[in-house]
Amino acid sequence: MSSFLKKNGTRSVLATIISILVGLFAGAILVLVVGLTSNEIGLKGAWEGISLIVAGTFSTGRDAAGALSFGFNPQIIGNMLFRAVPLILCGLSVALAYKTGLFNIGASGQYLAGTCATLFVALSIPAGSLPKLVIWLLAFFAGVLAGALWGAIPGMLKALLNINEVLACIMTNWIAANLVTWMFDISNLKNAVEGTKTGYIYKTTYGLVNVDGAWTYQDGLGVSTSKLGLDKVFPGSQVNGGILIAIIIAVIVYIVLTKTTFGYELKACGANRHAARYAGIHDKRSIVYSMAIAGALAGAAAALYYLSGNTELYWSVYQKLPTEGFNGIAVAMLASCNPIACIFTGLFMSAINLHGLQLANLTAYNEYITDVIIAVIVYLSAFSLLIKTWISGRKKVDKPKPATDGKPNPGKGGAA
């Protein structure tokens, strides 16, 4: 048993589970305290809040008597899978960079770059001029390429000028926010069909068509990610094939990092740039590649999210960076930067966010309690090394035994 606990993979998994359990416990305590101090909620409401924090994914609403009911809820589970896609890919973006010795805090800017390129390509190609699959592929890879180019900027600054990638990423985040806002502002992509909305970009299901010599957008003629039959399993939800693409990408990233020479060179450069250069590895090129691939993953996250066909973007984004990029840091840290583990932590973070919405919809609580839970979990994940050490136990050192024959006893393992 002790040898099993000493395995690094085992300790990483247990450290993650402990972080999650402590975070959920902290959330439950907070829900209980708020409930007991509120006349509107009370003890019964507090217990309902705790139930939703733990199992909100399986909530089916309230029954005829007004009590919470639980069971298989295909709509919520499908929405959880849909919302997990950008979290998984942004988590992979941070994890890959971290594995190669870099901290990619610029996933939000790379996500915005991917958003801009994806929507411009998907909405600028006239409907019917190309097969829908071709337009989808062009829009997807445009988002990936835009994210890669935006990620390569801090990579080049790090490689060529030795500028800290964290500072460079922070600056490129805000440049991307203002640049993307300006590009959408001067474009004619803004949604003017739905009068209750202002400043929104069309969903990609809108196709550009020429009607009586004037170009206009019509719904249903554009592109969207195939459902691949998942809408039959999770009816009424937003889920599509993007979750399967995200899982495949995570597996590819894992294989590249652990089974290829290219992945070894990236990790070796991250472990010790100067030693890698001495071994014949092009360290500057590896740094740029690492950040470019990390940016490509963040761009893919945006592409899959907005190519779903049921999401639209409020273009005035310069005042707020997309949360997916920063949540990707939490996903990666909770997964110990393991690409495969990012799949499960991304699903968990998506579920917690939906639990918050269920909490707000079915009780008098607000969804921000889940932010406290996530914060505690992320904070504990930063102490993963300490938790791993505690799990495996400290190595015991035998103390010298007192001499019995007039000669010193060096203890077990000592010199004779």
Same domain, 293 and 397: no
Q: Which residue's structure tokens are 């203890």?
A: 411
Beta strands in 188-236 (DSSP E): 206-211, 214-219
How far, in Å, CA of 244 to CA of 248, rounded?
6
Task: Give the 3-state secondary structure of residue 33.
Answer: helix
Q: Could you tell me the two tokens for 289?
A: 């590649």
d(CA 323, CA 394): 39
- Residue 61 and residue 311: Cα distance in Å, rounded? 25
Structural domains of the chain, count? 2
Instruction: Identify whether residues 175 and 102 lie together within a single domain.
Output: yes
User: Hey, what are 408's tokens?
Assistant: 């010193």
Torsion of CA 221, 239, 137, 170, to 10 degrees: 110
The DSSP 8-state label assigned to residue 209 in this structure reads: E
The answer to whether residues 241 and 308 belong to one domain is yes
Q: Which of 347, 378, 398 is the last residue of a domain?
A: 347
Question: Tokens in use for 75?
Answer: 């709509």
CA distance readout (Å), 143 to 137, 298, 336: 10, 9, 27
pTM exceeds 0.95 for this model: no
Tens of pLDDT along the chain (416 residues)? 556 556 666 777 887 888 888 888 888 888 888 888 888 888 888 888 888 888 888 888 888 888 888 888 899 999 999 999 999 999 999 999 999 999 999 999 999 999 999 999 999 999 999 999 999 999 999 999 999 999 999 999 999 999 999 999 999 999 999 999 889 888 888 776 665 677 788 899 999 998 888 888 888 899 999 999 999 999 989 999 999 999 999 999 999 999 999 999 999 988 888 888 888 888 899 999 999 999 999 999 999 999 998 888 887 665 678 889 989 998 998 888 999 999 999 999 999 888 888 888 888 887 777 778 777 877 777 676 577 667 666 554 455 555 555 555 555 444 44
Same domain, 208 and 272: yes
In this structure, the answer to whether residues 65 and 144 fall within a common structural domain is no
DSSP, res 61: E
Residues 304 and 320 in one domain: yes
In a domain, 415, yes or no: no
Asked if 1 and 126 sit in the same domain, the reply is no
The SS3 call for residue 404 is coil
Question: Exposed, middle or buried: residue 55 (CB in 10 Å: 0-12, 13-18, 19+)?
Answer: middle
| Domain region containing 381 | 1-72+364-408
The SS3 of residue 186 is helix
Specify whether 37 is located in the same domain as 98. Answer: no
